Chain A
Amino acid sequence: KQEVTQIPAALSVPEGENLVLNCSFTDSAIYNLQWFRQDPGKGLTSLLLIQSSQREQTSGRLNASLDKSSGRSTLYIAASQPGDSATYLCAVAAGNMLTFGGGTRLMVKP
């Protein structure tokens, strides 16, 4: 059974700092991996999707990498801003299942 873990569970950084969020998964036979953003009391917004054949995807200040062999993905946020404060979740698609991690709650302080 696929298990997805996100570390740390919570992170607080000063504005302007570059940061890395981690996602690890136990079964490397995946179709793709997706990163989502969730604001408090809201639904999820898709940020980036990395296909199993890709190594990374970029969107603006966000860069997501994928290393299937080691079962890891990272989400890099450059020059963080208070508006980046949210919970970030990764989700792994494999077989007939989509498995979510528990999320990293990010707080960017002005």
Chain B
Amino acid sequence: DGGITQSPKYLFRKEGQNVTLSCEQNLNHDAMYWYRQDPGQGLRLIYYSQIVNDFQKGDIAEGYSVSREKKESFPLTVTSAQKNPTAFYLCASSIRFQGSLRFYQPQHFGDGTRLSIL
């Protein structure tokens, strides 16, 4: 079955440590996204990528970094510069453009990674 796989499901970060969240998709989608979700709040866009070797900052990119070396993979690194990293992180993907869907609209989501501070 096609879909998005995020790993790990739970992750703990120590002070001053960088951690990387994995996101892999086998949907052959061009665009991929990273969102952060805090309790009771809507999703906020961290980074998105429309094509391999290209990505753009979203609303809350500070303290985060990404790479897009392969179409299937879009890992997110939470750096030590992100002072409040505790949240639920969701990866998503989409075809670049389909009908009324805009190029920045995700269609499929992974099951998320919950990041906490030790």
Min CB distance A56 to B, Å, is 15
Closest A residue to B110 by beta carbon equals: A43
- Residue in B41, B92, B100, B104 whose CB lies within 8 Å of A97: B104
Residues of A contacting B45 with CB < 8 Å?
Answer: 98
A102-B42 contact in complex given A43-B4, A44-B90, A97-B104, C-beta closer than 8 Å? yes
Residues of A contacting B106 with CB < 8 Å?
Answer: 44, 98
* 20 A-B pairs in the complex with CB atoms less than 8 angstroms apart: A32-B100, A32-B102, A42-B111, A42-B112, A43-B90, A43-B92, A43-B109, A43-B110, A43-B111, A44-B90, A46-B107, A89-B42, A91-B42, A93-B104, A98-B106, A100-B43, A101-B42, A102-B41, A103-B40, A103-B42
Residues of B contacting A42 with CB < 8 Å?
Answer: 111-112
Q: B-contacting residues of A (Cβ < 8 Å)?
A: 4, 9, 31-32, 34, 41-46, 49, 51, 89, 91, 93, 96-103
CB pair B105–A93 under 8 Å, yes or no, is: yes
Min CB distance A31 to B, Å, is 6
Q: Indicate whether B101 reaches chain A with its CB closer than 8 angstroms.
A: yes
Q: Indicate whether B114 reaches chain A with its CB closer than 8 angstroms.
A: yes
Closest B residue to A52 by beta carbon equals: B100
Residues of B contacting A32 with CB < 8 Å?
Answer: 100-102
CB pair B100–A49 under 8 Å, yes or no, is: yes
CB pair A41–B42 under 8 Å, yes or no, is: no
Residues of B contacting A43 with CB < 8 Å?
Answer: 4, 90, 92, 109-112
- Residue in B40, B41, B109 whose CB lies within 8 Å of A45: B109
CB pair B112–A98 under 8 Å, yes or no, is: no
